Amino acid sequence: MEELLFEIIDENKLVYGSDFEVITVFSLSKTKYYLDSKIIRHIISNVLSNAIKYSGSSRKIQINVTDEEGEIYINVIDFGIGIPDEDQKFMFEPFHRASNVEAIQGTGFGLSIVKRFVDLHSGKIEIESKTGKGTSVKIKLPILKNQKTI
């Protein structure tokens, strides 16, 4: 899991440059898990990409990964522009973009894809955000049986 996460961070640095800091906190009981690595890659890549784009001047992101009772918990936190309250209920709708994103590029499709992949993995996703303070994306995924290990 850690190796995959660091690969995704490095890939994002190639796309967005390296002028941001990613703090990773792992509290895992194993080194390998049964998860669909392609789905995990899509989920984390999209959420991390958003965190980087919307981190504002802080350019700081924290990723916490823990496991508990057969589930993996991933929390990606940025300290950037946040999502206005009136936009939060639409964040998983295709092509919806928050009203405060201004000139930041994007299609508004990323979180709808993430939600779909989380659902396909029988997981849950939750977003907490405050305008001007940042956003926390919490993902809970069950650890599958008899799947490819990452």
CA distance 134 to 64: 15
For residue 150, what pLDDT band results from cuts at 50, 70 and 90?
Answer: low
- Give tens-digit pLDDT for 82-118: 999 999 999 998 877 888 777 777 767 789 999 999 9
Please name the residues in contact with 46: beta carbons below 8 A apart, sequence gap of 6 or more: 110, 111, 113, 114
Q: Using only C-alpha atoms, what is the Rg of the chain?
A: 15
Asked if residue 22 has pLDDT above 90, the reply is yes
2-142 architecture in CATH? 2-Layer Sandwich (3.30)
Query: With the CA atoms of 103, 98, 112 and 3 taken in that order, what torsion angle do they form, in degrees rounded to the nearest 10?
Result: 60
pTM of the model: 0.89
CA distance 35 to 54: 28
* pLDDT at res. 117: 94
- State the chain's mean pLDDT as an integer: 89
Q: C-alpha angle 31/36/40, rounded to 5°?
A: 80
Provide the 8-state DSSP code for 122: T
CA distance 135 to 51: 8
Q: Compute the average pLDDT of residues 68-87.
A: 93
CA distance 17 to 141: 29
């789905």: which residue's tokens?
39
Residue 56 burial (CB < 10 Å; 0-12/13-18/19+)?
A: middle
